[in-house]
Amino acid sequence: MRLPATRLALVPRGSPSLLWTWASPLLALGLTVACGMLLFGLLGKSPWQAVSMFFVEPLASKRGVAEVLLKATPLALCAVGLSLAFRANVWNIGAEGQLIAGSIAAAAVALAGAGSGGWLVVAAIVAAAAGGMAWASVTAWLRDRFNANEILVSLMLVYVAQLLLSYVVHGPMKDPAGFGFPQSPMFDRAARLPLLLDGTRLHVGSLLALAAAAAAWLVLARSVIGFQLRVAGLAPRAARYAGFSSRRVLWTTLLVSGALAGIAGGAEVAGPMGQLTPSVSPGYGFAAIIVAFVGRLHPVGAVAASILMALFYIGGELSQSRLGMPSSLTGVYQGLLLLFLLGADTLIVNRLRLRAAAA
């Protein structure tokens, strides 16, 4: 058999490349943009419009930037929690469900406390964290007690949460004066998150996301539990040898990621929405999985990646409203980004080399 004179080969590196750990997401982004341009071209639009819709237009005004940060907030909150869990090999795929549970809990507090004024919003956000935590604790308990696979359990609980949300907005929390629409009454002023920038919808939830990222960074870099969850993820036998409790790691990561996802849901209903509706989340909890990996499971990376992902959401909406492109574009771009990232990540432990082929 005759082979071409040379071929591309993947050669293992001695140790993982730090450069490619961070260059890989950038390469993946570049390939996604190139593919996006090609896609626009095939759909009969100018490829440059793709760049413009996704990366120029959304950032062209103060309001635009605020909208990007607004969308990035729930993504960052979820992704920071997921980064901690994924590092410990705890595969919480159900941030979407925990986010919904948090939004229901926040709405319940906001509606029950209507008229009480004061710090109602604080109670609502605390309830949101508790709601997300409670939802995640089901997964933790089933894994701990029965060794049930947390990927399946957390994922299936997303659908349970979606049905629960549908039930409460059609039933107990439905606005009596809402003309039969499945949504709750609008919350009081006191149950809404304060705005950060006048004339925009950006709220203090964004600061919560930044604080969460900073705290998670500190935990990973300096705390004993952060060290334990890194070891549990990298070398489970070494964790057992050191005497680290795998149950402690499981519960901590699930409860923390659940709480952060819950806060993300609470901040949505107490922030831009101001009420509970069946469409609390356009899949933030799932997109946050991609965000966490693009951000290299690092809390600061998660913040940067959440802004990128927010651009995809807004660019997709703009392409739909201005150019009549299909609304599924956002999902296509998210998928492309993850696909290219997984491919590019092989360069972290391998190098590409042109080899003379064996005859």
Rounded-to-integer distance, Cα 38 and Cα 150, Å: 38
Q: What is the DSSP letter of 203?
A: B
Element holding 355 (H helix, E strand) = strand 350-356
Residue 265 identity (one-letter amino acid): G
Q: Does 225 bind other proteins (CB under 8 A)?
A: yes
Element holding 83 (H helix, E strand) = helix 62-87
Of 13 and 189, CB closest to other proteins: 13
Among 196, 227, 332, 349, binds other proteins (CB under 8 A): 227
Of 211 and 238, CB closest to other proteins: 238
Residue 301 identity (one-letter amino acid): G
Q: How far is the CB of 244 from other proteins (least distance, A)?
A: 8
Q: What part of residues 231-250 is at the interface with other proteins (CB under 8 A)?
A: 231, 234-235, 237-238, 240-243, 245
Of 15 and 42, CB closest to other proteins: 15
With CB under 8 A as the contact rule, which of the stretches 107-115, 122-130, 217-225, 279-287 interacts with other proteins? 217-225
Among 223, 321, 328, 346, binds other proteins (CB under 8 A): 223
Of 62 and 247, CB closest to other proteins: 247
Q: Phi/psi of residue 17, each to 5°?
A: -85, 125
Of 5 and 224, CB closest to other proteins: 224
Q: Does 118 bind other proteins (CB under 8 A)?
A: no
Rounded-to-integer distance, Cα 235 and Cα 241, Å: 10
Q: Does 3 bind other proteins (CB under 8 A)?
A: no
Q: Which of 23, 31, 24, 20 is nearest to 335 (CA)?
A: 31
Q: What part of residues 147-206 is at the interface with other proteins (CB under 8 A)?
A: none
Of 104 and 250, CB closest to other proteins: 250
Number of shown-chain residues binding other proteins (CB under 8 A): 19
Other C-beta atoms closer than 10 Å to the C-beta of 298 total 21
What is the b/e burial string over 160-187, where b = at least 16 CB atoms within 10 angstroms of the residue's CB?
ebbebbeebbeeebbbeeeeeebbbbbb
Q: What part of residues 6-65 is at the interface with other proteins (CB under 8 A)?
A: 14-16
Q: Does 222 bind other proteins (CB under 8 A)?
A: yes
Q: How far is the CB of 1 from other proteins (least distance, A)?
A: 12
Q: How far is the CB of 349 from other proteins (least distance, A)?
A: 11
Q: Phi/psi of residue 188, each to 5°?
A: -65, 160
Task: Please list, in sequence order, all residues whose beta carbon lies within 8 angstroms of the beta carbon of residue 300, skipping any fewer than 6 positions away.
Answer: 213, 217
Q: How far is the CB of 238 from other proteins (least distance, A)?
A: 5
Q: Which of 47, 57, 107 is nearest to 280 (CA)?
A: 107
Of 248 and 353, CB closest to other proteins: 248
With CB under 8 A as the contact rule, which of the stretches 96-104, 223-231, 268-276, 329-337 interacts with other proteins? 223-231
With CB under 8 A as the contact rule, which of the stretches 112-120, 226-234, 304-312, 317-325 interacts with other proteins? 226-234
Q: Does 230 bind other proteins (CB under 8 A)?
A: yes
Q: How far is the CB of 358 from other proteins (least distance, A)?
A: 9
Q: What's the angle, vertex CA 192, arms to CA 327 and CA 304, rounded to 5?
A: 50
DSSP 3-state of 313: helix
Token output for 187: 């919350």
Q: How far is the CB of 248 from other proteins (least distance, A)?
A: 11
DSSP 3-state of 10: strand
Token output for 3: 């082979």
Q: Phi/psi of residue 354, each to 5°?
A: -85, 125
What is the contact surface with other proteins in residues (CB under 8 A)?
14-16, 222-225, 227, 230-231, 234-235, 237-238, 240-243, 245
